[in-house]
Structure 1
Amino acid sequence: MGKKKTAFVCSDCGAEFARWQGQCSECKAWNTVTEFRVPSVKAAPRSASMTGYAGVVEAKIQTLDEVNLESLPRFSTGFKEFDRVLGGGAVPGSAILIGGEPGAGKSTLLLQTMCLLAQSMPTLYVTGEESLQQVAMRAKRLGLPTDKLKTLAETNVETICQLALREKPSIMVIDSIQVMHMTDVQSAPGSVSQVRESAAYLTRFAKQNQVAIVMVGHVTKDGTLAGPKVLEHCIDCSILLEGSSDSRFRTLRGNKNRFGAVNELGVFAMTGQGLKEVSNPSAIFLNRGEEQTPGSLVMVIWEGTRPLLVEVQALVDYSQLANPRRVTVGLEQNRLAMLLAVLHRHGGLQVADQDVFVNVVGGVKVNETSADLALITALVSSFKNYALDKQLVVFGEVGLGGEIRPVPSGQERLREAAKHGFKRAIVPVANKPKEVIEGMEVIGVSSLNDALQALF
């Protein structure tokens, strides 16, 4: 027997090295390079489809317009919020990876989905971390129909695929990919080698048999999906279920999707009967008090394919420290530092000796630049101890020159705000609608000074 080839792979970026090293030279991460044993390649048996020379398989070449798309219709998961994140439903033959913190509700959401789908199509729920009794107890506690859902407690990938060929499910859940293993790979389950080969094997099985496979993945301490980076490359859709331990709301966010929009957001509420979808998340994030306080403001952000109204709060207070604190929750801290410099240069407001705290209510993470103008407005409101109008909504991007830049989908944002009863809006001039929105006064501003004058 030949000597098995050994490589060293970075679990963060997937870079390969000839020998072990403490720091990955590609992504500069420490202690992420682990040993990876390449399995020996076995000669594939010749089949009836092979003709002529050995290893040459007849394959049909065709143009894209000849591909039949009607044979792969999407099917609903039973949850509109889940379908939204997937791009309109699950696609047969797709490989979906869903991750999240322990206790976020990954297994609960998938068990609810599979019990509903089992009433209309063949399904298979494979558990490697729990026994079948534990799964049945959870389903009974949630009040789910369990008469048609087929379950399997197994961790060997080859055995799972052999049984799936016999059962022919339309959708299959693997909970979780970190405990799966293959016989030919000589390493422990959860290692880079096992996760990499198991995910690749399952993905090939999904494509060849038109089975939608949902794999559950663990996350690291910094919130990213555990395992090699190649795991995210080989799957079709990567979803992250987020939610803090002190909040009953969970957000389902798509990080990668070959069949739909990325950064799509679905909102669920954790109840005693499992996860319940929230069809109008803006109403939850706008659960404000009767009395308006300084530093509080509502902004309209864009998540995937829909607008979302959230409240941003800012607190500016005199600092007793030599280096004042800059704390952000739900926003990027570097963005706050840049906006404070713009506010000083073009707004004439000096906060170098002030502690600045910023929070996005509801645990929402804002990644887009449309929150710039709302954040600056909340900072000025807190600094001047001036409460803004409760029926005011603000959005817009702020440039380094103090200019207010337009943001995408401005009309849809304004209509969403008007639907929730907001009467006044401060937006970039380019986003001001040509037609009057009934019941709303829209003020367009082109610079930071214009915005501050209109507000204060």
Structure 2
Amino acid sequence: MRNKTTYSCQSCGHQSARWMGRCPGCGEWNSLTEEKVADIKEVRGISGSSPVAVTEVIAAEEDRYSTGIKELDRVLGGGLVPGSMVLVGGDPGIGKSTLLLQGAAAIAASAGKILYVSGEESTRQLKMRAERIGAVHQDLLLLSETDMSVIERYIKELMPVAVILDSIQTVFQPDLSSAPGSVSQVRESTGILMRIAKGTGISIFVVGHVTKEGTLAGPRVLEHMVDTVLYFEGDRHQSFRVLRTVKNRFGSTNELGIFEMRGRGLVEVTNPSALFMNRRPQGVAGSSIVPSLEGTRPLLVEIQALVCPSGYGTPRRMTSGVDHNRVALIMAVLERRVGLRISPYDAYVSAVGGVKLDEPAADLAIALAITSSFRDKPIQEGMVLVGEVGLTGEVRPVSGMDKRLNEAAKLGFRLCIGPPREQQDESLGIIEYICVNSLQEAVDAAVER
């Protein structure tokens, strides 16, 4: 029988019967590669599954056990759920393997046997890393293997509490002729691990590589199959690392875990707001503070802006840690609604500490930092700013205001400018609150002319 071939997109997984220069699914160029289609001999599913009436299903709160790292437990929603599958992505060298190796040793010390499978390092290299970061335990088992059938056999023989696979792009299924890291290999390997996790109750961590755009490499189905998706972010030139939840079937999304990279591994940062505010400049124009809310964690972040005359025909707009398009929108509102003639000027906006802010509550702080830099007048000391800015110049309410104000009060801030609040509660007694309806009112209250 003649072998059948298909062309699969390495970015989105789209399959085509013939080669095309551009993928019709995602629009990527030269991403279709030829793969042989293997005959399907057996279709395996989750063992023991059968239809059952919804009224007969016993629903209970998921049993969890601690990973031994509080910040990791936070982003997982309170601990690790047995039988769950967690995908961890991040840039090369950011600390994914270090984090999981520390977590593996902590789980081995508290919950039992754990298997760490590496397709990128030998067991000798893993032992050297474990000794350096103090992650050595007799129940931590190391395996250097890329054959998925061998990995599956060892998992079923050992029956560990959890399995860590580093990384999914290095393993391969012998039945498939495509290369490791291809769409079919990643999809089949993930499917095998998912059946093991759901059928045996073993928790599985899978490390995934990311593209230059910062998204997980491979087909999007990889993120849909797992229960939790974590991104490990940060600048390799700085010591702080952020573990962010973007999907979690057992907890809140957009949770944050803060770590600091040191010589002996990652150290948890229990009070990141105080750490980020430690070296904040005093009495300097272009600096503002926003009480951000990432998941359930309030976090005070400094926004810095620099507005200066442009030396080119087209003014430059550069951002770091905040959305570029959002900053352009805020600058347009400032020019139209507040009357600041900033369109001929270069503007640079940054979130200090390597934190990425994507919530609209930071709009007011960004707008006031730009205004402060443009007028060369500092914002009042001890003030935080929170609120979403609309195109008509109005300041809109945001959620979780109580947590934001309480966090600001803990660090000594005594004044907050924000949108009108419908519910007047006890948090207003902790910090003085100034309600503003428009961006013009906020500028008049916070920045001198």
TM-score range, shorter chain: over 0.9
- Aligned 8 A contact 1:411 1:431 in 2: no
In the other structure, the counterpart of 1:86 is: 76
Q: 1:117 to 1:59 in 2, by over 3 A?
A: closer
* 2: CA distance, partners of 1:58 / 1:69: 18
- Aligned 8 A contact 2:405 2:427 in 1: no
3-state secondary structure, aligned to 1:34: strand
- Aligned 8 A contact 2:287 2:379 in 1: yes
- Aligned 8 A contact 1:127 1:153 in 2: yes
In the other structure, the counterpart of 2:92 is: 102
- Aligned 8 A contact 2:287 2:303 in 1: yes
Deviation at 1:435, TM superposition (A): 3.7
In the other structure, the counterpart of 1:273 is: 264
In the other structure, the counterpart of 1:48 is: none
Is 2:155 aligned against 1:156?
A: no
* 1: CA distance, partners of 2:48 / 2:88: 36
Q: Deviations over 1:21-51 (max 9, x none)?
A: 1212232222222334333211479xxxxxx
- Aligned 8 A contact 2:380 2:446 in 1: no
* 2: CA distance, partners of 1:70 / 1:402: 47
In the other structure, the counterpart of 1:75 is: 65
* 2: CA distance, partners of 1:23 / 1:395: 44
- Aligned 8 A contact 2:3 2:36 in 1: yes
Q: 1:297 aligns with which of 250, 267, 288?
A: 288
One-letter code aligned to 1:62: V
In the other structure, the counterpart of 2:38 is: 39
- Aligned 8 A contact 2:112 2:139 in 1: no
* 1: CA distance, partners of 2:59 / 2:2: 46
3-state secondary structure, aligned to 1:178: coil
3-state secondary structure, aligned to 1:41: coil
TM-score, normalised to structure 1, is 0.93
In the other structure, the counterpart of 1:23 is: 22
In the other structure, the counterpart of 1:61 is: 51
In the other structure, the counterpart of 1:14 is: 13
Deviation at 1:7, TM superposition (A): 2.6
In the other structure, the counterpart of 1:324 is: 315
In the other structure, the counterpart of 2:157 is: 166
One-letter code aligned to 1:350: R
In the other structure, the counterpart of 1:361 is: 352
TM-score, normalised to structure 2, is 0.94
One-letter code aligned to 2:14: A
* 1: CA distance, partners of 2:413 / 2:37: 60
Q: List aligned pairs for 1:332-371, cutoff 5 A.
A: 332-371=323-362
* 1: CA distance, partners of 2:343 / 2:43: 69
3-state secondary structure, aligned to 2:275: helix
Q: Deviations over 1:49-93 (max 9, x none)?
A: xxxxxx9x9964333453345595111111111111111111111
* 1: CA distance, partners of 2:424 / 2:7: 56
Give structure 1 regions of 4+ aligned residues with deviation exceeding 6 angstroms: none
Deviation at 1:366, TM superposition (A): 0.8
In the other structure, the counterpart of 1:440 is: 431
Q: 2:208 aligns with which of 217, 230, 248?
A: 217
* 2: CA distance, partners of 1:450 / 1:403: 9
- Aligned 8 A contact 1:11 1:227 in 2: yes
One-letter code aligned to 1:247: Q
* 1: CA distance, partners of 2:48 / 2:118: 38
- Aligned 8 A contact 2:13 2:183 in 1: no
Query: % of aligned pairs identical?
Result: 48
Q: 1:43 to 1:417 in 2, by over 3 A?
A: closer
* Structure 2: segments with no counterpart, 5+ residues: none
* 1: CA distance, partners of 2:341 / 2:180: 56
* 1: CA distance, partners of 2:282 / 2:86: 45
Residue correspondences, number: 445
* 2: CA distance, partners of 1:73 / 1:169: 17
Q: List aligned pairs for 1:128-167, cutoff 5 A.
A: 128-167=119-158
* 2: CA distance, partners of 1:436 / 1:331: 28
Q: 1:236 to 1:217 in 2, by over 3 A?
A: same
Q: 1:74 to 1:64 in 2, by over 3 A?
A: farther
Deviation at 1:253, TM superposition (A): 0.8
* 1: CA distance, partners of 2:422 / 2:316: 34
Q: List aligned pairs for 1:192-203, cutoff 5 A.
A: 192-203=183-194
* 2: CA distance, partners of 1:299 / 1:106: 29
In the other structure, the counterpart of 2:101 is: 111
* 2: CA distance, partners of 1:430 / 1:37: 61
Is 2:442 aligned against 1:451?
A: yes
* 2: CA distance, partners of 1:300 / 1:44: 51
One-letter code aligned to 1:322: G
In the other structure, the counterpart of 1:51 is: none
Q: 1:40 to 1:71 in 2, by over 3 A?
A: farther
In the other structure, the counterpart of 2:419 is: 428
* 1: CA distance, partners of 2:302 / 2:359: 15
- Aligned 8 A contact 1:294 1:386 in 2: yes
Deviation at 1:394, TM superposition (A): 0.1
In the other structure, the counterpart of 2:252 is: 261
Is 2:388 aligned against 1:389?
A: no
Calculate the aligned-residue CA RMSD, in Å: 2.0
3-state secondary structure, aligned to 1:35: strand
Query: For structure 1, which segment, 80-89 or 27-36, has the greater mean C-alpha deviation from structure 2 after superposition?
Result: 27-36
In the other structure, the counterpart of 1:398 is: 389
Q: 1:439 to 1:163 in 2, by over 3 A?
A: closer
* 1: CA distance, partners of 2:104 / 2:219: 28
Q: 1:177 to 1:59 in 2, by over 3 A?
A: closer
- Aligned 8 A contact 2:12 2:218 in 1: no
Q: 1:379 to 1:166 in 2, by over 3 A?
A: same
* 1: CA distance, partners of 2:226 / 2:130: 28
Deviation at 1:15, TM superposition (A): 2.5
- Aligned 8 A contact 1:248 1:270 in 2: yes
- Aligned 8 A contact 1:432 1:443 in 2: no
